[in-house]
Structure 1
């Protein structure tokens, strides 16, 4: 395989030698300061919302699993409204991904409603 084929991807055959395994221990997360963190959360009731709100107010993005909530439950609607209000207050954004997830962003972060790669 020539150099241009490697750059342009002229061959569909790949071998394990084409990939490099990354060891998380090689990256010292504590030494680099990030402007924003991404948090993963599970929401099963109202008590789980406070930590999410605090994270968004602190400028972090939250991806929350809502599969434990029953969608017909008024609690689910109340939680969604509460998180929507937080996103509006901080100038962020909020979307619900199907019946299983909510993404809440802090100030200045918008969520595209278009999927990548779909034409």
Structure 2
């Protein structure tokens, strides 16, 4: 018997089903900024005023992931925003698709979204 077990009692074995917290900070370090041709930008759309900034990013050749959860309750605003984004990606030859109920991804010229999944179901 180990000393730790004598002092504190038997140590329960960890099972795979137990939650394990991962520290991902070591993978999120900031690397010296280098210019890139395309950036992935993340945006939250809370009203139609934000559409202009999203259009600018798409025209500049960036991929934009848009959180639309704040406008989902207003069906007219949601449809108008999605139509505006669709028009921009059509104009530049990009693509647009939903990632889930609250996220939309838009891509610029030359980047298409493959709608099939890799692995899983």
Fold shared, TM-score > 0.5 on shorter chain: yes
Aligned-partner Cα distance in 2 for 1:34–1:40: 16
Q: Are positions 1:68 and 2:73 aligned together?
A: no
State which structure, 1 or 2, has the greater radius of gyration over its C-alpha atoms.
2
SS at match of 2:96: strand
Q: Which residue is equivalent to 2:91?
A: 89
Contact persistence 1:95–1:111 (CA under 8 A): yes
TM-score for both structures, normalised by structure 2: 0.73
Q: Write the distance in 1 (CA, Å) between the matches of 2:35 and 2:95.
A: 24
- Alignment TM-score, normalising by the size of structure 1: 0.74
Segments of 5+ residues of structure 1 without an aligned counterpart are 1-20
Shift of 1:116: 1.2
1:40 aligns with 2:42: yes
Moved over 3 A (4+): none
Gaps of 5+ in 2: 1-25
Does the 8 A contact of 1:63 with 1:102 survive in 2? yes
